[in-house]
């Protein structure tokens, strides 16, 4: 991985393309411009289609890592996005080059440790959590006295600090329920460690199925394999889309159906590769998982 550059300052072209595409000209390093950058960045969806396809052609190459330039070009051309590692590093590059102080932190989820990541931004001596993987399009102050925000029509986010462990626990909620999502420590993750966790993410369970998330005017849209889930603050609606996955993804995300077909073929190729390497042993429990249980695993 020696030829991979994880210095946010080195990705000027990708940042310039993002700012130009979304017509952003931040003049001040302030909360208003931070909100605006996050609002536009949230238009780039969470999806693992691009990651699955890229891995299938670059198992033994560092080219499998999708860096800012590739993420923004494929978003402009094909409406693609990325998973939390590529999105977090891209956002870190954007914020760093527009004058903000920020650093990545690793998070633990039910599916495993260090499989999610987000950013901490320091502005006016206040630390804020920003999480492109969860489409958190508002900065959330890391403050026990202000632990709950409504960040979208779909509901809100709550942070709870556990003093004995030193971890923050993040929950999402709407009118129906509150769910624990992940926990993290306020510890900057060095580039080498971040890259290792990113590398490990290519063989996690979330790579065995198609998963996408995006914001809408009414809330959030999740697609995982055969399920579509629409979430608003009032309720959550789920439906099976086994016979219409390709068209549903194209309708809600604008991603060409041929890319879905390529991803499905790549999943089978990648699984075969994992079996050959002894990384993956198929089990019955790997089939028919809940559509949200692997959301944002990597």
244 versus 26: which is more confidently predicted? Answer: 244
pLDDT grade for 281, boundaries at 50, 70 and 90: confident
* Average pLDDT value for residue range 27-41: 94
**Residue 91 in domain:** yes
* pLDDT tier at 295, thresholds 50, 70, 90: very low
290 has a pLDDT exceeding 60: no
pLDDT above 70 (res 292): no
pLDDT more than 70, % of the chain: 91
Residue that is written with structure tokens 């996955």 in the block: 245
Structural domain includes residue 193:
yes
Contact 50, 253 (CB under 8 A): no
Q: What is the pLDDT of residues 68-83, one digit of tens each?
A: 999 999 999 999 999 9
pLDDT tens-digit series, residues 163-218: 899 999 999 887 778 889 999 999 999 999 999 999 999 999 889 999 999 987 77
Is 147 a domain residue? yes
Residue 69 in domain: yes
Which structural domain range is residue 103 located in? 8-286
CATH label of the domain that carries residue 95: 3.30.2140.20
- Does the residue 192 lie in any domain? yes
Would 195 be classed as within a structural domain? yes
In a domain, 226, yes or no: yes
Is pLDDT at 155 greater than 80 in this prediction?
A: no
Number of domains the chain is built from: 1
pLDDT for residue 232 is more than 80: no
Q: How confident is the model at residue 150 (pLDDT cuts 50, 70, 90)?
A: low
Write the DSSP assignment of 249-294 as a string of letters: HHHHH---HHHHHHHHHHHHHHHHHHHHTTS----GGGSS--TTTT
Q: Which residues contact 91 (CB under 8 A, 6 or more apart)?
A: 38, 41, 119, 130, 132
Q: Tell me what pLDDT residue 287 has.
A: 43
The one-character DSSP state at 204 is S
In this predicted structure, the answer to whether residue 282 has a pLDDT above a threshold of 80 is no
| Residue 153 pLDDT | 59
Q: Is residue 210 part of a domain?
A: yes
The structure tokens 């996050």 sit at 38
Within the chain, residue ranges assigned H as helices are: 12-21, 31-41, 49-57, 68-78, 84-97, 191-200, 245-253, 257-276
Strands laid side by side in the 148-152 sheet = 136-141, 126-131, 112-123, 101-109, 178-184, 167-173, 155-162, 148-152
Asked whether the predicted pLDDT for residue 120 surpasses 50, the reply is yes
């Amino acid at each position: 991985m020696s030829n991979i550059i994880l210095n946010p300052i080195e990705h000027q072209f990708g940042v310039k393309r993002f700012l130009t595409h979304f017509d952003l000209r931040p003049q001040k390093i302030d909360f208003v411009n931070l909100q605006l950058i996050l609002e536009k960045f949230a238009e780039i969806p969470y999806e693992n289609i691009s990651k699955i396809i890229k891995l299938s052609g670059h198992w033994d190459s560092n080219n499998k890592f999708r860096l800012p330039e590739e993420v923004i070009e494929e978003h402009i051309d094909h409406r693609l996005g990325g998973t939390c590692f590529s999105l977090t590093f891209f956002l870190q590059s954007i914020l760093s080059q527009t004058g903000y102080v920020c650093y990545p932190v690793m998070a633990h989820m039910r599916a495993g440790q260090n499989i999610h990541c987000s950013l901490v931004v320091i502005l006016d001596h206040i630390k804020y959590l920003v999480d492109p993987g969860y489409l958190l399009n508002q900065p959330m102050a890391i403050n026990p006295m202000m632990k709950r925000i409504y960040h979208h029509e779909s509901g809100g986010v709550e942070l709870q600090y556990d003093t004995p462990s030193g971890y923050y626990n993040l929950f999402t909620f709407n009118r129906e329920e509150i769910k624990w999502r992940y926990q993290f420590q306020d510890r900057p993750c060095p580039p080498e460690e971040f890259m290792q966790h990113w590398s490990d993410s290519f063989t996690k369970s979330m790579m065995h199925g198609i998963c996408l998330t995006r914001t809408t005017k009414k809330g959030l849209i999740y697609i995982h394999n055969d399920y579509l889930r629409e979430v608003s603050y009032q309720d959550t609606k789920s439906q099976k889309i086994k016979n219409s996955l390709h068209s549903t993804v194209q309708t809600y995300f604008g991603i060409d159906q041929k890319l879905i077909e390529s991803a499905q073929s790549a999943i089978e190729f990648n699984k075969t590769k994992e079996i050959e390497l002894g990384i993956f042993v198929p089990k019955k429990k790997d089939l028919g998982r809940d559509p949200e249980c692997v959301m944002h695993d990597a």
